[in-house]
Amino acid sequence: MTLQVLVVDDEPLARLRLRTLLGDCTAPAAAVGGEAGTAAQAMEMLQRLRFDAVLLDIHMPGADGLALAQALRALPQAPPVVFVTAHTEHAVAAFELDALDYLTKPVRLERLQVALQKVERQAQAGGAAAAPPEVLLIQDRGRTERVPLAEVLYFKAELKYVTVRTATRSYILDASLSELEERHATRFLRVHRNALVARRAIRALEKHYDPEEGEGWAVRLNGIDELLAVSRRQLGAVREAIAN
C-alpha cells in the first residue's frame, strides 16, 4: 500500500523537499497525492479527494495550519494530520487538535518514516474508530511531554502552578485546579481546596494529624505512600467514592 499524502505549505521549495522525501520512503511507501499553498486550497481538495495523511505547515498566509486542522475535525472522514513546521512553540496547540505527529524543519527522512508508520498503524486499527487516550500536555525543560491522564494520581495546587503526580514522578503544570476539576470531573474528585485525586486510585480514608490543621482525615492512594488531607467539607464525597 502506498500512502497518498496531501502536502500543504506556502513555500514551493518546502513542498519540493517533502515530495523528494516522500519518494524516498519505503516503510511504508508514500507519494504526493496533492499539493496546496494555502489552507483554503487544501480544504477544497480534501472535500473532493481522499488522502491518507496531511503534511501541514503552520505559518501560511490567510488561515494558518492550526485553523485548517481545527476545520478538518468537522469532516466525517478527515485524514490524520502531521504538522511540519520550523516553529517548536506550537506543539501544545497541535496535539490539542489531535495531531498524529509534529515534525520540525528541516525534516529528516528517518523522522518522516516514523510519522508515516503512525499513519499506517492508525489506518490498520480502523482510523478514528478507537478514541485516543486522554493526555495532559506538559512543557518540561523546553520540550512537550504527553502524560496519559490514566496515570495521574492527583493534582495539587502549589502557589501559581499545579503539581501533577503519577506513580513514578511529578510534573509542574501551568493550569488552575478549578479548570482541571471542571474538565475531568468524572475521573477526579476534589478532596481539599488544593487537591484533586483520581477516583480509581483511592484506597483508604484514614485519621490523620496535620501540624497546621490538627486532627483530621487523609486519603491514601494506590501507588504512592504520600497522604493527602481531606477537608471536612469533602469528607462525605470521599466516603461515597470509597463505598462505590
What is the mean pLDDT of the segment spanning 192-204? 95
Cell numbers 496515570: residue: 151
Residues in the chain: 244
Instruction: Tell which CATH classification among 3.30.930.10, 3.50.50.60, 3.40.50.2300, 3.40.1080.10 matches the domain 2-129.
Output: 3.40.50.2300
pLDDT of residue 25: 93
Would you kindly state where each structural domain of the chain is located, as residue ranges? 2-129, 145-243
Q: What is the pLDDT of residue 94?
A: 72
One fold for 2-129 and 145-243: no
Q: Among 158-162, 166-170, 217-221, which is the least confidently predicted range?
A: 158-162
Q: Which of 45-49, 71-75, 160-164, 209-213 has the lowest mean pLDDT?
A: 209-213
Average pLDDT, the chain: 88
Superfamily of domain 145-243: LytTr DNA-binding domain (2.40.50.1020)
Residue 128, pLDDT score: 46
Per-residue pLDDT of 18-47, as tens digits, reads: 999 999 999 899 999 999 999 999 999 998
List pLDDT tens digits, range 55-86. 999 999 888 989 998 888 877 788 999 999 88
What HEC string does the chain produce? Answer: CEEEEEEECCCHHHHHHHHHHHHHCECCEEEEEEEECCHHHHHHHHHHCCCCEEEECCCCCCCCHHHHHHHHCCCCCCCCEEEEECCHHHHHHHHHCCCCEEEECCCCHHHHHHHHHHHHHHHHCCHHHCCCCCEEEEEECCEEEEEEHHHEEEEEEECCEEEEEECCCEEEECCCHHHHHHHCCCCEEEEECCEEEEHHHEEEEEEEEECCCEEEEEEEECCCCCEEEECHHHHHHHHHHHHC
